[in-house]
C-alpha cells in the first residue's frame, strides 16, 4: 500500500512526515519540497512523475540518505534517518539502499563482476561469499556470461543491468531508481522495466523510481505526481 495523506500507517516500510527541503540561492529561499507525506509498504513499486524542477530527484536523494531535509522526518524499517550523522548515514545507506542511475555510473576500469562486488567490499563477507553473491546477482539480471566484460564492452541496456545487479547484491531494504531508462532505446528500456518488475514480483523488492516516461511509470504499482514540491495523490495501476 502507498499513501500520501500522512495518516499513521503502522506497517509502512518507508514513512515520510512533513518533509521540507529548502535552498537559499542569491538570498532567495526556494522551497523544493513542502510538507510532504508518504508511506510505502514492502514490495511496492512506486513511480514518481512530474515536470523538471518539481523535486523528484531531491526526494529520491533524501530517501536515499544522500541529503538531509530542512524539516520533517524519514523513517525506514523503523530507523529514523534524518538525525543520523554523516558516517552513520553512509553506513545506513550501504545496508539499506540500492541505487540505480540514469547513466549507469559503473566504474569503467572494473569488470562487471568487480563493479557488482563494490558494495560487498564494505561488508565482512569472505571472498568466496562475495563471489557467490555477485554471481547470483548477475544471474538475476541475466548477465552471468558477461561478468568479466568491462563496461565499454557492454551495451547500454547491459550496463544498466549490471548497475541493477550492483544495487541488489547487498540485498538492500529498497531500491531507488533515478530515470533508469532515460538513456536507453525502447527495447532496452523495456528489458530494464521488465527486470525491475521481476525483482518486485519474484523477490519482493521495494522500488521507488523517478521517471519522465509514462510507459515506464505504467510498470509501477503506484504512480505519484510531484508538482512544485507537493506530492499529489497518485494513481494505483495494479
Cell 539480471, residue?
Answer: 141
Residue closer to another protein by CB (options 118, 144) is: 118
- Residue whose C-alpha is closest to residue 75's, from 222, 171, 173, 166: 173
Question: Could you say whether residue 69 binds another protein (CB under 8 A)?
Answer: no
Chain centroid to Cα 155, Å, comes to 22
- Mark the segment that binds another protein (CB under 8 A) among 117-125, 140-148, 185-193, 216-224: 117-125
Residues 143-172 that bind another protein (CB under 8 A): 166
Residue closer to another protein by CB (options 30, 121) is: 121
Print the binding letters for residues 173-212 with another protein: x by CB under 8 A, - otherwise.
----------------------------------------
Helix 127-140 vs helix 156-168: crossing angle, to nearest 10? 130
What gap in Å lies between CA 36 and CA 145, rounded to an integer? 44
Question: Could you say whether residue 119 binds another protein (CB under 8 A)?
Answer: yes
Give the dihedral of Cα atoms 199, 204, 206, 210; nearest 10 deg: 30
- Mark the segment that binds another protein (CB under 8 A) among 13-21, 70-78, 86-94, 227-235: 86-94
- Mark the segment that binds another protein (CB under 8 A) among 45-53, 99-107, 132-140, 141-149: 99-107
3-class DSSP state of 79: strand
Helix 186-203 vs helix 156-168: crossing angle, to nearest 10? 20
Task: Give the binding site for another protein (CB under 8 A).
Answer: 61, 64, 66-67, 86-87, 90-91, 93-95, 99, 101, 103, 105, 107, 109-110, 114, 118-119, 121-122, 166
Amino acid at each position: 500500500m502507498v499513501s500520501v495523506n500522512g495518516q499513521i500507517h503502522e506497517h509502512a516500510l518507508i514513512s515520510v512526515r512533513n518533509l521540507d527541503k529548502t535552498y537559499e540561492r542569491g538570498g532567495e529561499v526556494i522551497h523544493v519540497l513542502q510538507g510532504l507525506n508518504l508511506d510505502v509498504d514492502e514490495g511496492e513499486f512506486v513511480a514518481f512523475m512530474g515536470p523538471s524542477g518539481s523535486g523528484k530527484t531531491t526526494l529520491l536523494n533524501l530517501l536515499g540518505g544522500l541529503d538531509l531535509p530542512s524539516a520533517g522526518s524519514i523513517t525506514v524499517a523503523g530507523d529514523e534517518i534524518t538525525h543520523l550523522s554523516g558516517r552513520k548515514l553512509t553506513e545506513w545507506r550501504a545496508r539499506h539502499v540500492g541505487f540505480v542511475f540514469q547513466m549507469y555510473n559503473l566504474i569503467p576500469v572494473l569488470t562487471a563482476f568487480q563493479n557488482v562486488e563494490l558494495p560487498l567490499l564494505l561488508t565482512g563477507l569472505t571472498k568466496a561469499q562475495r563471489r557467490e553473491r555477485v554471481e547470483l546477482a548477475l544471474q538475476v539480471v541475466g548477465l552471468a556470461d558477461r561478468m568479466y566484460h568491462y563496461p565499454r564492452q557492454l551495451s547500454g541496456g547491459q550496463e544498466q543491468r549490471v548497475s541493477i545487479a550492483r544495487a541488489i547484491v547487498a540485498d538492500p531494504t529498497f531500491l531507488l531508481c533515478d530515470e533508469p531508462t532515460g538513456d536507453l532505446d525502447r527495447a532496452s528500456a523495456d528489458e530494464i522495466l521488465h527486470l525491475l518488475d521481476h525483482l518486485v514480483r519474484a523477490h519482493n523488492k521495494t522500488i521507488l523510481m523517478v521517471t519522465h516516461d509514462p510507459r515506464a511509470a505504467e510498470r509501477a504499482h503506484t504512480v505519484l505526481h510531484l508538482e512544485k514540491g507537493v506530492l499529489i495523490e497518485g494513481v494505483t495501476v495494479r
